[in-house]
Structure 1
Amino acid sequence: MENRRSYFSNVERKSISPSAIVIGGGFAGIAAAHALRNASFQVVLLESRDRIGGRVSTDYSFGFPVDLGASWLHGVCEDNPLAPLIGRLGLPLYRTSGDNSVLFDHDLESYALFDTDGHQVPQELVQKIGDVFETILRETDKVRRECNDDMSIAQAISIVLERCPELRQEGLSHNVLQWYLCRMEGWFATDADTISLKNWDQEVLLPGGHGLMVRGYRPVINTLAKGLDIRLHHRVTKILRHKKGVEVTVENGKTFVADAAIITVPLGVLKANSIKFEPRLPEWKEEAIRELAIGTENKIALHFDKVFWPNVEFIGVVSSTTYGCSYFLNLHKATGHPVLVYMPAGRLAHDIEKMSDEAAAKFAFLQLKRILPDASEPIQYLVSHWGTDENSLGSYTYDAVGMPRELYEHLRIPVDNLFFAGEATSTKFTGTVHGAFSTGLMAAEECRMRVLERYGDLDMLEPVHPVIMGEETASVSVPLLISRI
């Protein structure tokens, strides 16, 4: 039976390895723990859920993998820090877009859009309005340069349409334009009236386009987690820091003690103040937590016994408002499985989260039935709840109106022997899995340096590096398996 005060002691320093506690078992936390263990630290990882992965959640209840959280590799290239691992594991990617346009993770020709009467929008019109949308976004840059104060992308678009009436659309064309704006809202997981004009396009997009993880992200996180000391069902409630180390208390009262802690819980959890810090975090850190914004995008996966929809990557319903628009990711195109994934974001996502899973799945199916009257009922469904799940309280971070981008860095900067990681601490790659992974490695290296400085033993250990599958394969570059059907 374990003591209530557990894991590492700070006495007899010369006889034990340096130690760290990692809080949160998503990609940032697993990457940090993996790297520190490779640097000869004693590491324990505390995870509140009954699984690892965090906002990466691959579900197998359909009999095959479906990602209910992150599912894309944004930047299918060797520069992506996850590419070497994905390549060595032989995990296939389905490239949904070959470039990094404002239309983000899908190309124009991959859409089949329908009006609410079930008539398919002519592809020429889809292409034309897509080009108009890009033009409107380019015009918003002029508005940005003219204004000192920030505003929402929705307000900037209104100004552009006032100035350039030739860009205004009526009828079906207007509805298609709303659908493109709805897709943009899905990228940021929030509504257009909350997205910053000043910063919406400041995220760095790696080259190579966007690839869907055909077999899900679970094999990647499981590989990183091998051999780690992971404690599931360990919800952290208090973190006490002092000169000699940290004490981390979990919900059942057990306390873990180590030289340092790396905190990788989602921004939504930090914003909820469910973890008490003693002493309090400095005001600049509390401000970053308070002012940074997290959005919500959910997935409702519908499993059918047969395919009755067109052979495209995205099926969309256009409407006169973004709230009325909807879109379905066609997993059959990428994986061969008869699954459509409905993906509501922003206010719509929050409203659907108030429903039961059965009602949410029915709502999604009714959107489909409106445009495809011959649609058969789903045989199974899965529903995510990223906005209300107490372990996430949101999907990922976005640039809110008036929010300085330096807040991401403020969230990342260590406080004494507390280190921070996660997608919300990544200035360049906010909201991405590779962003979370990179910050985990960065926090591990900062932690290693700080702890060994205190030991006076900086030459004791090698720098952290993410050795994944043995030293003999660490330097071998394996090409990514990319398909486009």
Structure 2
Amino acid sequence: MQPRKDNPSVVNLAIGSHSRYCECCFPDYDYYELRVSGGRARFCGCRMMELKYGDDSLSGDFYDDIYASLADRSHSATPSVIVIGGGISGIVAARTLHTLQNASFKVILLESQDRIGGRIHTDYSFGCPVDMGASWLHGVCNENPLSPVIRRLGLTMYRTSGDDSILYDHDLESYALFDKNGQQVPPNIVTEVGVTFKKILEETDKVRDGQASDMSVKEAILIVLEKNPELRQEGLAYEVLQWYICRMEAWFAADTEMISLRAWDQEQLLSGGHGLMVQGYDPVIKALSRDIDIRLNHRVKKIVNGYKKVTVTVEDGRNFVADAVIITVPLGVLKAKVIEFEPKLPEWKLSAISDLGIGNENKIALKFDHVFWPNVEFLGVVAKTSYSCGYFLNLHKATGHPVLVYMAAGALANDLEKLSDEAVADFVMVQLKGMFPDATEPVQYLVSRWGMEPNIRGCYSYDAVGNSDDIYDRLRASVGNIFFGGEAVSVDHQGSVHGAYSAGVMAAENCERHLMQRMGTLERNPLVACREEIVEITVPLQISRL
């Protein structure tokens, strides 16, 4: 091969087969070495290239010419895909390509952190599993794509709600609510206000139908209360109503003034209620990631989307080249524009990334030497504003360990991230001692900061006010050889683990279809929006409710 005359950066290009093996696909293929601008690039039979000492200024056309010239040399050229992001969506995308029956793909997963899982993070420092990120299976049923994995691993779930729960992820009778003076709220008041809250939400449908443009859920609630004075609450009942609003905000990880009235109730919930993962989500992540080539501490800085390949540059300057890329990083990372795209992403894609909301929810886990709270699944604190309300998940009820987990969402989650771990724990203990004056100090505590985590930058997505109807179509649409996964692009289940799982499968199957068409081995068919499969049920899901 002769140097390109129109590319002066190529001063010495030589190709020769080496007896050593390619570092990215050892031990399957030999690699070819290219001397470029005084450096060396390696090209292997699996079509995954890692530029070792080359010139970052080399153009995409240069690499395209290399592929074209070397294609005939590789008798077993395998389509290659780089997956960016080691959360469950990225892991599942890599696994889907890794286990395809009708095609063979070379897959590398690049993860910026020193661990996999992303927003799934099970901590074991208490001597028991505590999920500081995702912790529920939303939809305990065989239709949930995670069910076969959970069933196969023999994991136990603790069901915290049935199908029809006004609190989304738990039933009303599982709660004990207290006011700021430590007095328990009578259950009949909690029930009555719950019925009223449901009526208020039903009335917001009428507000939505009468509006040409979108508005926030908070604005709609105020309109409903203005038109229906009988639904207004006073005194303790008003504080309980604020607590219901607090729980609604926790579901979306955003304050009601940020949530779209037009879309807030459009989510497709699976049947079977909601199950807390008793052993945590970590076993699921470990099982799905088995045998996948995962590169930790590989923070992606730049993606060059060429006609025939994609070049991915990581923080230390190394380049990885493949036929296609699947991006599954959190929406917050895409919003922050910490990854440079060349050419730039089209405006329709950028606006979708910008417009979709990304919420924030944090957990403060407290371990005690003994249990001093009632045997209920949740403890709640009512107050005059939803911001000042709070609630605790009682892990002792589900797991037998003396652990409470305080959960803060929206503006409160953002504000707590500005404090030290000690200050956050003190804040939570003030709320706890308000309910139980004799509460002891925790022996250990953990604090999450998903909003400030540079590799995450938020909890999960939600529909912000004014989102267009096609925002999810634009968000999940591919751009050239770049495909997109992650919970935010899920067809019907954004903000959930099973939504992220399905989005990973979807991205992998669309990527496979694209590459097979390009190689001429598959008839042109439309890209899929989801994957349906028949699950063979051999062992029932293990569900408990103490």
Map of 2:92 onto structure 1:
31
Q: Which amino acid aligns with 2:258?
A: T
Partner-residue secondary structure (3-state), 2:362: coil
Shift of 1:405: 4.1
Partner of residue 141, structure 2: 77
Q: Distance in 1 between matches of 2:521 and 2:136?
A: 41
CA drift of 1:243 comes to 1.3
Equivalent residue, structure 1, for 2:152: 88
SS at match of 2:386: coil
What pairs up with 1:37-48 in 2 under 5 angstroms? 37-39=98-100, 40-48=104-112
Q: Give the 5 Å matches for 1:169-180.
A: 169-180=233-244
Any idea what the Cα deviations from partners look like across 1:239-286, whole Å, max 9, x if unmatched? 001111100000000110110000000000000000000011111001
Partner of 2:438: 374
Q: Would the aligned equivalents of 2:165 and 2:172 in 1 still touch at CA under 8 Å?
A: no
CA shift at 1:475, angstroms?
4.1
- The residue type equivalent to 1:348 in the other structure is L
Q: List structure 1 segments (4+ residues) > 6 angstroms apart after TM superposition.
A: 1-7
Alignment of 1:27-176 (within 5 A): 27-39=88-100, 40-176=104-240
Contact between 2:166 and 2:194, CA under 8 Å: does it hold in 1? Answer: no
Q: Tell me the CA shift for residue 102 of structure 1.
A: 3.6
Shift, 1:409, TM fit: 1.9
- CA distance, structure 1, for counterparts of residue 164 and residue 348 of structure 2: 34
Distance (whole Å) between structure 2 residues aligned to residue 417 and residue 100 of structure 1: 42
Q: What's the offset of the Cα at 1:455?
A: 1.2
2:472 pairs with 1:408: yes
What is the match of residue 78 of structure 2?
17
Cα distance in 1 between the residues matched to 2:442 and 2:498: 33
**Matched-pair contact (CA < 8 Å) for 1:262–1:421:** yes
How far off is 1:16 after superposition?
2.3
Q: Confirm or deny that 1:183 pairs with 2:247.
A: yes
User: Alpha-carbon deviations, 1:46-92, whole Å to 9, x = none?
Assistant: 00011000000111111110000000000000000000110111100
Secondary structure (helix, strand or coil) at the match of 1:315 reads strand
Which of 452, 455, 459 is matched with 1:395 structurally? 459
Letter in 2 for 1:478: V
Matched, 1:262 2:364: no
Match of 1:470 in 2: none
Q: 1:334 to 1:6 in 2, by over 3 A?
A: farther
**Alpha-carbon separation, structure 1, partners of 2:43 and 2:537:** 40
Q: Distance in 2 between matches of 1:165 and 1:294?
A: 34
Structure 2 counterparts to residues 68-467 of structure 1, below 5 A: 68-458=132-522
Q: Does the 8 Å contact 1:332/1:339 carry over to 2?
A: yes
Question: How many angstroms does 1:365 deviate by?
Answer: 1.3
| Residue deviations 1:341-392 (CA, integer Å, cap 9, x gap) | 1101111110000001111111111111111101100000111000110011
Which aligned pairs between 1:463-474 and structure 2 lie closer than 5 A?
none
Decide whether the 8 Å contact of 2:303 with 2:313 is kept in 1.
yes
Paired AA for residue 23 in structure 1: I
Q: After TM superposition, give the deviation of residue 101 of structure 1 in Å.
A: 3.3
**Equivalent residues of 1:423, 1:436 under 8 A apart:** yes
**1:267/1:6 CA distance change after superposition, 3 Å:** farther
* Aligned residue identity for 1:22: V
* Partners of 1:6 and 1:257 within 8 A in 2: no
* TM-superposed deviation, 1:31: 0.3
State whether residues 398 and 430 of structure 1, in contact with CA within 8 Å, keep that contact through their aligned partners in structure 2.
yes
What is the distance in 2 between the residues matched to 1:380 and 1:103? 29
Deviations 1:110-136 (A, max 9, x none): 110000000000111111111111111
CA distance in 2: counterparts of 1:325 and 1:99, whole angstroms: 25
- Give the partner amino acid of 1:259: D
8 A contact 1:84–1:477 mirrored in 2: no
Report the TM-score, using the length of structure 1 for normalisation: 0.95
- Determine helix, strand or coil for the equivalent of 1:298: strand
Query: Distance in 2 between the 1:167 and 1:458 partners?
Result: 60
* Structure 2 unmatched runs, 5+: 1-21, 24-39, 50-66, 529-534
Distance 2:396 2:192 in 1: 27
Preserved contact between residue 363 and residue 448 of structure 2 (Cα < 8 Å): yes
Aligned amino acid, residue 220 of structure 2: A
C-alpha deviation, 1:454, in angstroms: 1.2
Q: Which residue of 2 aligns with 1:484?
A: 545
Find the aligned partners of 1:336 and 1:219 in 2 and give their Cα distance: 19
- Specify the code of the residue in structure 1 equivalent to 2:337: N
Give yes or no for contact 1:150–1:401 (8 Å, CA) kept in 2. yes
Q: What secondary structure is seen at the aligned counterpart in 1 of 2:388?
A: coil
The answer on whether the counterparts of 1:137 and 1:157 sit within 8 Å (CA) in structure 2 is: yes
Greater Cα shift, 225-234 or 448-457: 448-457
Q: Percent identity?
A: 63
The separation in 2 between residues aligned to 1:228 and 1:128, in whole angstroms, is 52
Is the radius of gyration larger for structure 1 or structure 2? 2
Report the Cα distance in structure 2 between the residues aligned to 1:75 and 1:243, rounded to whole angstroms: 41
Between the two proteins, the alignment pairs up a number of residues equal to 475
Supply the AA of the counterpart residue of 1:265.
V
Output the amino acid matched with 2:138: H
Deviation readout 1:287-344 (Å, 9 max, x if unpaired): 1111111000000000111110011111011000011101101111111111111101
Query: Residue type of the partner of 1:101?
Result: S
Superposed CA deviations along residues 10-34 of structure 1, whole A, max 9, x for unmatched, are: 4435422111000000011000000
SS in 1 for 2:321: strand
Aligned equivalents of 1:405, 1:369: Cα separation in 2? 46
